[in-house]
Amino acid sequence: MNNNLIIVFVRSPELGKVKTRLARSIGDQSALNIYKILLKHTAAVLRDLSFDKVVYFSEKIDNNDFWENSLFEKKLQKGADLGERMHHAFDNAFNKGYKKVLIIGSDLFDLTSSLITSAFEALETYDISIGPSLDGGYYLLGMKKLYPEVFKNKKWGTDSVLENTLQDLKKQKIKLLKALNDIDTLEDLRQQPKLLYNILDYDASH
């Protein structure tokens, strides 16, 4: 077992159930195609990293997908809301003996392997590493121990999440990584011309 673990939270890629805000602008099928591209991108970024990796699925585990079974452990998310589900995943990781744990989503087209490595390296000297999202949330959270308050009393999916999280952790040393943008809306998509080209290619080939 590696001392470092990357947790990835994903939704099952089903029509009408992913990227719902984006789907209101571009339709369910195109939104699903974009989500599949983001999943593939995330898997490709993580594939060659030496850290242990676990993918937590929202509804059901798929053993024949983008996440190679030989590289990614697979689990189901547990909890009533996002906070409870993340709390459970971190708690499980620390109980298994991991020393540094990161959680990421699968909505970040700007995700790179160097960003993941930097987040782990930051935990050598900081208590927490956080990747802020431009929408007021965060795309990455790294810890060396569990801080349960981080996962409670949050309005998940709103622009107050990061601010409230930083308030919870004001006594800790925090490393803020580069602020990046998740792909949740049409405006987010327009900021990623490379992703737009990819979706056009995807649509043409399917």
Residue 58 has pLDDT above 60, yes or no: yes
The predicted-structure confidence for 75-125, as pLDDT tens digits, reads as follows 999 999 999 999 999 999 999 999 999 999 998 999 999 999 999 999 999
CB of 34 closer than 8 Å to CB of 185:
no
Q: Look up tokens 């000297």; give the residue.
A: 125
SS3 133: strand
Give the contacts of 111 (CB within 8 A, at least 6 positions apart): 41, 42, 45, 104, 139, 180
- Highest mean pLDDT of the ranges 12-26, 31-45, 119-133, 177-191: 119-133
The predicted-structure confidence for 145-203, as pLDDT tens digits, reads as follows 999 999 999 999 899 999 999 999 999 999 999 999 888 888 888 888 777 666 654 45
Quote the distance between the C-alpha of residue 164 and its chain's center: 19
The helix or strand, by DSSP H or E, that contains position 80, with its residue range, turns out to be: none
Parent domain of 109 = 4-205
Residue 8 has pLDDT above 90, yes or no: yes
SS3 44: helix
What confidence score (pLDDT) does residue 204 get?
Answer: 46
Please give the model's pTM, rounded to 2 decimal places.
0.92
SS3 154: coil
Cα(173)–Cα(82) distance, rounded to whole angstroms? 24
What confidence score (pLDDT) does residue 206 get?
Answer: 52
Domains: count for the chain: 1
What confidence score (pLDDT) does residue 177 get?
Answer: 97
The CATH number given to whatever domain includes residue 32 is 3.90.550.10
Cα(75)–Cα(72) distance, rounded to whole angstroms? 10
